[in-house]
């Protein structure tokens, strides 16, 4: 009986927590998540921020649909230039699409990255952003965080 | 004449009418003969289109195809009925010169001439590192023989050789994130030809005015001619300027790139999907720690 209670408690806890496990690269600090919109956020000392959103996959759409929706939203909003889009597959075997946008803040260029993984139940959006200089410096950390991200298939 | 006839007795008045009628008949006969001789000459040059009614028609009015046309003045000179002759073309008229300056040659040259087209393209790009992108566009234009026309913080205009327009446009589009493209083509062939003719005529008139200026006897005459010369010279220079501009616009296509920080409302504005999280994407929220 005790084992049953423990199993139920474990299931409840699992149900309350996020459906993913983010990987925090060295040199980043995880922020307390009091934010509604992010399931995870971490920042470097220089202000490069990594984040994960988990969105319930309802209504259903394929990866192509969601990527196109993101692309249209960012470009249509103005101020974001689509620089690159490429397919990506991480260590867990999640397949997705990565989009890089450029954004000028005055004379200061910034980069914003969104990687979308779409599973049956969830849409995971992994984001990274900061000044172009910072992003260029820490591309390896960003790639590592994406590669080691674990979502629920 | 009428009054002098009415003053005569009835018998003499009859002779006078008779004499008039004979004179008119002789005049008509001589005219018909002259016309008939001209008609025979035409017929010798080319076969008649049809007999019967065609034979009855005035030969001069239906010149055979291919036969050289008789000058209208010569036809009129043979008209003894005293029909009003057409006024001679003004000797110093530029329009007259143009009209007699072999119009068939002008038409032929127009037919042979390739259309003169001006290409203009406007690309709208998303804003990112505008200076770097504009530098690249400027360098690209110069590399293919083009040049910079204008540049400010959010736009750049270059001209590229028309023959390289398509390639240049695609290469320029690759320098950034292209949001919108508009290409316009204007055909200026007619405008160019009109201006060319206008220029030619104005130059002919100016040459004549120079001759007139040399012959002027009085100061007033010389002043008047000089004033007209100045006006005409100004006109010629303006036409030359327009022609030069047209030639340049045809030879070099214009490409303008605008960087759009905020979207301009268009009919095909982007779709608004009902997923609130899409609106939350971006650096503003991500970087709000």
* A49 shares contact with chain B (CB less than 8 Å): yes
Residue B98: the pLDDT is 37
8-state DSSP, B46: S
8-state DSSP, B263: P
- Closest residue to B128, CB basis, from A72, A77, A109: A109
Start-end of H helices in chain A: 2-16, 63-77, 132-137, 139-147
Q: Is the pLDDT of residue A30 over 80?
A: yes
Which carries the bigger pLDDT value, residue B277 or residue A34? Answer: B277
Contact A72 B275 (CB under 8 A): no
Residue B63: the pLDDT is 36
Euclidean distance between CA atoms A126 and A120, whole angstroms:
17
Contact B281 A76 (CB under 8 A): no
Q: Is the pLDDT of residue B111 over 80?
A: no
Average the pLDDT over each of A105-114, B19-28, B146-155 and give the range with the smallest value. B19-28
What are the CA-CA distances from residue B158 to residues B100, B118, B120, B121, B256 (Å)?
A: 44, 14, 10, 10, 6
User: Average of pLDDT values for A138-142?
Assistant: 95
Contact B177 A114 (CB under 8 A): no
User: Average of pLDDT values for A117-145?
Assistant: 95
- Closest residue to A81, CB basis, from B126, B283, B285: B126
- Taking CA–CA distances from A32, the nearest residue in chain B reads B289
- Taking CA–CA distances from B268, the nearest residue in chain A reads A76
- Closest residue to B263, CB basis, from A43, A76, A130: A76
Which carries the bigger pLDDT value, residue B230 or residue B261? Answer: B230
Average the pLDDT over each of A25-39, A45-59, B158-172 and give the range with the smallest value. A25-39
Nearest chain A Cα distance for residue B167, angstroms = 21
Contact B177 A83 (CB under 8 A): yes
Could you report the per-residue pLDDT of B130-140, keeping only the tens digit for each? Answer: 889 999 999 99
ipTM, 2 dp: 0.71
User: Average of pLDDT values for B86-100?
Assistant: 38
H or E element, residue A110? strand A108-118
Which carries the bigger pLDDT value, residue B149 or residue B275? Answer: B149
Q: Could you write out the DSSP letters of every residue in A39-108?
A: SEEEEETTS-EEEEEEEE--S---HHHHHHHHHHHHHHHSS-EEEEEEEEE-TT--EEEEEEEEEEETTE
Could you report the per-residue pLDDT of B173-194, keeping only the tens digit for each? Answer: 999 889 889 999 999 999 999 9
Residue B201: the pLDDT is 95
Contact A114 B127 (CB under 8 A): no
Residue B216: the pLDDT is 84
What mean pLDDT, rounded, does chain B reach?
Answer: 71
Contact B283 A112 (CB under 8 A): yes
User: Average of pLDDT values for B227-231?
Assistant: 93
């Amino acid at each position: 009986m005790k084992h049953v209670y423990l199993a139920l408690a474990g299931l409840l806890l699992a149900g309350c927590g996020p459906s993913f496990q983010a990987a925090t690269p060295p040199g980043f600090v995880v922020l307390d998540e009091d934010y509604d919109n992010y399931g995870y956020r971490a920042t470097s000392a220089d202000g490069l921020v990594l984040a994960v959103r988990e969105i319930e996959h309802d209504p259903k759409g394929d990866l192509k649909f969601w990527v196109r929706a993101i692309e249209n939203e960012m470009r249509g909003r103005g101020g974001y230039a689509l620089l690159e889009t490429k397919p990506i597959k991480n260590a867990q075997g999640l397949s997705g699409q990565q989009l890089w946008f450029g954004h000028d803040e005055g004379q200061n260029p910034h980069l914003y990255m969104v990687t979308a993984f779409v599973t049956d139940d969830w849409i995971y959006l992994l984001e990274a952003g900061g000044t172009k200089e910072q992003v260029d410096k820490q591309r390896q950390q960003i790639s590592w965080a994406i590669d080691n991200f674990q979502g629920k298939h | 004449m009428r009054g002098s006839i009415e003053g005569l007795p009835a018998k003499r008045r009859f002779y006078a009418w008779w004499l008039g009628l004979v004179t008119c008949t002789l005049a008509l006969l001589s005219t018909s003969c002259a016309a008939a001789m001209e008609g025979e000459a035409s017929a010798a040059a080319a076969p008649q289109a049809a007999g019967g009614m065609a034979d009855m028609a005035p030969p001069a009015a239906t010149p055979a195809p291919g036969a050289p046309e008789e000058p209208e003045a010569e036809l009129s000179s043979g008209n003894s009925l005293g029909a009003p002759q057409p006024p001679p073309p003004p000797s110093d008229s530029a329009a007259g010169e143009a009209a007699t300056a072999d119009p068939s040659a002008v038409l032929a040259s127009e037919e042979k001439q390739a259309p003169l087209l001006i290409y203009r393209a406007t690309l709208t790009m998303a804003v990112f590192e505008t200076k770097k992108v504009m530098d690249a566009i400027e360098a690209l234009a110069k590399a293919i023989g083009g040049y910079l026309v204008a540049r400010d913080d959010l736009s750049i205009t270059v001209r590229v050789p028309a023959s390289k327009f398509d390639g240049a446009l695609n290469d320029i589009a690759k320098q950034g994130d292209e949001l919108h493209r508009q290409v316009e083509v204007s055909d200026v062939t007619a405008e160019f030809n009109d201006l060319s003719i206008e220029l030619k005529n104005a130059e002919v008139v100016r040459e004549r005015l120079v001759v007139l200026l040399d012959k002027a006897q009085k100061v007033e005459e010389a002043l008047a001619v000089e004033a007209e010369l100045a006006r005409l010279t100004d006109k010629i220079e303006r036409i030359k300027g327009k022609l030069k501009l047209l030639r340049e616009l045809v030879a070099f296509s214009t490409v303008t790139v605008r960087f759009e920080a905020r979207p301009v409302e268009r009919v095909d504005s982007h779709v608004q999907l009902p997923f609130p999280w899409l609106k939350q994407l971006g650096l503003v929220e991500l970087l709000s720690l």
